[in-house]
Structure 1
Amino acid sequence: MIDIGSTRRFMPGPLESVSSTLAGILPVGIIITALDTNNVTVKKQVLELLSALCVYNAEGYSRALDALQHYKELKGERYRLNVVVSELRDATSVEYQNALVAFINCLIISTPQLKDRIRIRNEFIGEYQTQLISPVYSSTIGNKELETKYK
């Protein structure tokens, strides 16, 4: 008779299986291209997988950043975090917005070095400002009341 309790210690759980499959076998750059769909459920699942990779281990974190870099190059974007901020800007589903913010948080908190954590946080802030605040600010030109509120 096999003791199932002792066997479970050696069997990978769901997170370990997903992480090792995604981080080791399947190119994560392919997974992130699923963000091109209009299906919000698929997009949410992609972000949840990337979030799990980030928090599971350093290799998974590195693969998630590689995926963002791959997507940036594929789309001809200037910044690797552009896709995440653009999706957050355009998202209408609360669940999808939550998945996006959770992914951003996973990227930030999973960064091992403080200086790198600050750098990636500032990348998000910079991209957020560029996409969301700058267009609003430029639309206030000529409206003295709004101009003073943005300064």
Structure 2
Amino acid sequence: MNETHATVAPGAPVFPPGRYGRRREPGRRRPLTAALLAAVLLAGLVLAAWQLYAKYGDPAYDPQLITYTDITDSQVQVTFRVTVPAGGSATCQLRARDRAGAEVGRDEVTVTARPGDTHVTTRHRVATTARPFIGEVLRCRPAA
């Protein structure tokens, strides 16, 4: 079909016939494809949230850094409090970093609450390979 001034909407460009190939009809929408993509995206987000919660989000094992002291060229003392279920145990990861933010020491310590107690305060020495600037409690999780 050739385009003429009668078949072209006003304001639309007029192309010479046979020059630019066949004109396509407007594409039909594919709601199934969009729904499948949305479902895959949602499943990926749920999986990522689940993994992040498992890694960082257990509120029953909540660590709080109290202080870090006794900084030398080869150690830092980290004092922290962790909330655990009564009579339970937690494994906590401690880290020491230098002024530039590089990790210079890491240690894992297991703390156990006394029966009837839910807060455990612990002081632990983290050995380092260089002079640390800060001591941190990365996370605590149920002891295995």
- With normalisation by structure 2, the TM-score equals 0.25
More strand by share: 2
Structure with bigger RCO (C-alpha 8 Å, 6+ apart): 2
When Rg is computed on C-alpha atoms for both structures, the one with the higher figure is: 2
TM-score by length of 1: 0.24
